Amino acid sequence: MKLTKVSLAALVALGAFSSVANATPLEEAIKNVDLSGFARYRYTNDHLKTSSAASKVKSSDAGHVFRMQTAFKAAIDDNFFGVLHLRYQAKDISGDNIKDGTDKTNTTGTFGVYEMYLGYKADNTTVTAGKQKLGTFYDDKDIVGTGLKVVNTDIQGLTLTAGAFDAVQNDGNEIDGPFLTTLTGSFNDAPGNIYYLGAAGSYDPVAFKVAIANVQEVATLYGAGIGADFNINDDLSINGKAQYVHNDSDHKKVANADFWALQAGIKAFGLKFNAGYLDFDAKNKASDAENSSKISFVTLDANGELINPAKILNGAMSSSKQFYNNIKGNNDYWFVKAGYDIDKFGFGAGYTKGKGHSFALNEDRAKRDEWHVDASYKYSKKLTFLSWYAFAKDKKDDVKFQQDRIRFEAKYSF
């Protein structure tokens, strides 16, 4: 038998061709993969001013933010599936932020893994394990943790959810408010794992939610909400909503708190109007020497699903310290909002006024208010445009803090 000498390079090439020959065709590999996500451009411009009888301090911040999220969901075998969610975000500074030189565009940003988890679906029960969105009553549905979640819909109209997360993100562009960063950075004597139980029901015209979130050895949130929407005819309906959350502290650094809100509205021939009242109180008033240094919260991130009529007042104002996950003292507000939808266009305006803690002024019971206007255009089901302007103000005695923000957004979903 004659032996033929084959070079190492030739062996590698033969192996590669063999692998290719046995590889799964691309068409077959992707036929069970669902693709979803969005691409978004957002421009935000903030102007800030602190003034008193003695001085005035002004500053501004503006930027172009580009984001793309792409989720791949693949059927693996039988009832198993896997999800890989990639994310890209970059910000280009705009305006007068760069005092030396000129503004720069970011061309080195890369995609990162946002979610990555394995799922199993049997009948009406879905179990997911891995890096995934928390998706609770107490966050705005974009915060990720590592853990296990179970969702069941056996009972028609009722969704039951249970989750356990032993790690949660503490930075990134999704973080709204300081709580998660504080939790993962300051509570060295508490595990801080998050356990969640929730029930959501929809039985026309009434819908409700009940939710418990335990941040291990830190605090437990007990919350509930109920709403109703009565359609009188095709062009006229009335609606209402009520919510309540209680924070029961388990840690010496955390103060108990309560949140409640009421809202009522009407829709008629494209017009929308609603008005309401909200109140949230934490046992950490600035005048309480024993408890003033404690933190308190009624959400885990941002304002969760709780009623928030303002654009920035109880949110992005004062370096994003005013969200419901960072509350102090007694706060109460009333609000009105109105809007009109015609064809693909939408227009709206709102006003919120009350008293509460101002982190910008470091004062309790400051006078606080905001007015805003917005406009939207829905070009198609996938492509939308949104623009709004908001002006908010805190005032206590002769000191005043003002912030206004303008935003434009174009978003394509797929």
**How high is the pLDDT of residue 9?**
53
Task: Answer whether residue 30 is part of any domain.
Answer: no
Task: Answer whether residue 226 is part of any domain.
Answer: yes
Mean pLDDT is lowest, of 29-43, 102-116, 371-385, for: 102-116
Report how far Cα 159 is from the mean position of its chain's Cα atoms.
21
Look up residue 92 and give its two tokens: 């280009």
Task: Answer whether residue 95 is part of any domain.
Answer: no
For the residues 223-240, what does the mean pLDDT come to? Answer: 96
**How high is the pLDDT of residue 97?**
57
**257 confidence band (pLDDT: 50, 70, 90):** very high
Task: Answer whether residue 304 is part of any domain.
Answer: yes
Give the range of the structural domain holding residue 327, as residue numbers without chain letter: 126-413
Task: Answer whether residue 180 is part of any domain.
Answer: yes
Q: Is the pTM of this model over 0.75?
A: yes
Average pLDDT, the chain: 91
**How high is the pLDDT of residue 53?**
79
**How high is the pLDDT of residue 1?**
41
Task: Answer whether residue 61 is part of any domain.
Answer: no
Task: Answer whether residue 21 is part of any domain.
Answer: no
Look up residue 207 and give its two tokens: 């819908």
**How high is the pLDDT of residue 10?**
54
**331 confidence band (pLDDT: 50, 70, 90):** very high
**CATH number for 393:** 2.40.160.10
Express each pLDDT in 42-67 by its tens digit: 999 999 999 987 889 999 999 999 99
Runs of H (alpha helix) within 80-212 = 179-186
Residue 15 has pLDDT above 70, yes or no: no
Alpha-carbon gap, residue 239 to 346, rounded angstroms = 19
Express each pLDDT in 128-153 by its tens digit: 999 999 999 999 999 999 999 999 99
Neighbouring C-alpha atoms within 13 Å toward the C-beta of 257: 32
Look up residue 67 and give its two tokens: 């984001």
Find where tokens 């062996």 sit.
Answer: 11
Report how far Cα 287 is from the mean position of its chain's Cα atoms.
32
Domain count, the chain: 1
DSSP letter string over 11-40?
Answer: HHHHHHHHHHHHSPPHHHHHTTEEEEEEEE
Task: Answer whether residue 217 is part of any domain.
Answer: yes
**How high is the pLDDT of residue 2?**
44
**How high is the pLDDT of residue 22?**
62
